[in-house]
Amino acid sequence: MMKLPGLLGRLLRRPLDQILIGAFVLVALLPLAVLGLRLYHAAWDDAWREVYEKHRLLAMNLASPLQLYVKDHQTMLAMLANRLAGHGRGHEVVDLLSDSNTILPDFRNLSLVSASGDLIYSTALAAIAPGQRRLFADEACFRYSLERGRPKLSAMKYSPLDDQPTLLMSQPVRAPDGQVQAVLLAELNVDYIEQLRRNIHFGERGHSAIVDQTGHVIAHPNPEWRREIHDLSHLSVVQKMMAGETGVTEFYSPFVKQDMVAGFTAVPGIGWGVMVPQPKAEVARQVHALLTSHLAWVGVALLLAIAVAVFLARWISRPLVRLAGAAEEMTRNRFRGQLPSPGRNVPREIGQLDDALHNLISGLLISRHRLEQLNAELQDKVDEATARLRETNEQLEAALRRADEFIGFARHDLRKPLVVIRDIVDTLYDTLQITGKPPADLPELLELIRRSDDYMQNIVNDFLGEIVLHEDSLTCHPEPLDLNLLIRFIVTSNQAYAGRKQITLETDLDPHLPEIRADDTRITQVLSNLIDNAIKFSPPGTGVQIHTRQEGQGIRCEIRDEGPGLTEADLGKVFTPHSRLSNRPTGGEPSTGLGLAICRRIIELHGGEIGVSNNPGQGCTFWFRLPLRQRKAEREKT
């Protein structure tokens, strides 16, 4: 049976009555949840639609008075500029500006600036000090009206006269010939704009705000922001107003520190923006109040569904629980006893299940007796077959181990003499091709081939006798042996291999080294393996040195290379059969992991020692020591 993972599997393993109750409740809850979700979205849509219309209309209603306010004052300033064009004498200009500032209180002050940028008169100054004549010379509004001959409304800025937040309006004053002879500047009173703003708000914490064409505050419920002309151009709603858009949007208010819903619009003709934000939480409370009543009815319907579910679940599950309990009891009593009747007022399927269980138990009792007889007979046969199989398996495992080890040794020890013979054949062939004559050292080369052949025959004889892997049966035939002569022979046979890898073979042999008694073939194996490994793991351009010397009652041979050396972990397992070291052959040569294990067994069989150490600079040194005379125990073992 497929096993269901995680939470679903645990739920389906609950008692039947709990599953049925959960299913009934889920069936009742799903449509209620869908209905509640639709009501929630409908309530939000209605609230959003209401907010959209009211906020947008409020913003648009505030934009119209602002537009009229600015346009009216621009018109009045133009009329005043026309009157100034007909008065050339100084006291008439002063009287006209003073009277106009009194009649037009929404202008904080009026100033007349000559075309050269000098302040002619300002209603805010009783007298013009020398340092105040050029107050407006660099004003953008003044430069604009002077150069283009058109009126201009500035963004919010600090007044050059009293450093108060203000809006500066400019109007060119033309001479009879139409040339601009002066510019009339007026600072617009923003207090009236703030009064308009205060009358527009929506909700408990809703408010309105007015920004200029650059996104700076003109009117706002935060007086500090008004005084510092706070920049709100980073808000998305302000950016939309500056782009001339009208609508409703959401944004986070740094003033209220809440998410807001805002109707906004741009004031036509002057580029200002008007927005009427309200905290989104207030809209959410309206929606939640509507949903609370709906959820109350959903809860009543859910309780009714649970009551019906409990009744149906118990009516279905109780007879099944009784049948399951009785069946479990009969199983513990080895099918002795009777199943109880589920009753008359049960679903038809449960009655059919009761009949089927009675028939099944009767058949099981008959089958059990026959099965016990068959099991007893089968167990005897299984025990007998298992014993025979175990014995055969042990024999097979032993044979496989011997075969695997035989193949491993053969791959390792037969490869080197074959390579030597191939190198000699290649040398003979190349010499005959070039000179047409055999080389002068032909006898020595043939002797190398003969000794390599003897070496392989001895190894094969050992392999066929299955003695390599059994230390007690591995035999040696000691005879007088010149170790230096044997080393020269092996170095010569490896010259071609080393030359291909650009590795130099060097010898430092003690000329007074005494003869020893050792098996020529076995020591050849050791030297061939150690020199072959030194070449195999050395990089091109390096050297391999072979040293011999007498050391007490024995002789010592060292093979040094300039390779990467051995790690601490490799030093501990280098002589273990089939060990894999961290270093790899530099020429991609194969490696079985058996050569050094063979070397250790042969040296120990001769009563000697073998080891390895890292060189201080680079590479490592493999060494072995053989006694001049074998001890009696070694001789008997040999």
**Which CATH number does 467-637 carry?**
3.30.565.10
- Whether 471 has a pLDDT exceeding 50, the answer reads no
Range from 305-309, 354-358, 368-372, 472-476 carrying the lowest mean pLDDT: 472-476
Neighbouring-strand partners of residue 518:
479
CA nearest neighbour of 150 among 86, 242, 74? 74
Range from 58-67, 145-154, 254-263, 406-415 carrying the lowest mean pLDDT: 406-415
Q: How far apart are CA 287 and CA 39, in angstroms?
A: 10
CA nearest neighbour of 105 among 127, 74, 81, 73? 73
pLDDT at position 422: 80
pLDDT at position 402: 61
Residue 173 banded pLDDT, cuts 50, 70, 90: very high
The gap from C-alpha 307 to its chain's centroid, in whole angstroms, comes to 50
Q: In the Cβ-directed half-sphere of 393, how many Cα atoms lie within 13 Å? A: 6
Q: What is the mean pLDDT of the chain?
A: 81
Q: How far apart are CA 171 and CA 149, in angstroms?
A: 8
Residue 400 structure tokens: 């496989």
Residues 552-565 pLDDT 10s: 899 999 999 998 88
Domain coordinates in residue numbering, the chain: 69-191, 194-284, 467-637
pLDDT at position 466: 45
- Whether 378 has a pLDDT exceeding 80, the answer reads yes
- Whether 330 has a pLDDT exceeding 60, the answer reads yes
**In the chain, how many H helices and how many E strands?**
16, 18
Q: What is the mean pLDDT of residues 347-357?
A: 69
Residue 469 banded pLDDT, cuts 50, 70, 90: very low
Neighbouring-strand partners of residue 263:
248, 276
CATH of 194-284, one of 3.40.50.10470, 3.40.50.1820, 3.30.420.40, 3.30.450.20: 3.30.450.20
Same fold, 194-284 and 467-637: no
Q: Give this prediction's pTM.
A: 0.43
- Whether 152 has a pLDDT exceeding 80, the answer reads yes
Residue 461 banded pLDDT, cuts 50, 70, 90: low
pLDDT at position 47: 67
Report DSSP state, residue 86.
T
Q: Determine the topology of domain 69-191 in CATH.
A: Beta-Lactamase (3.30.450)
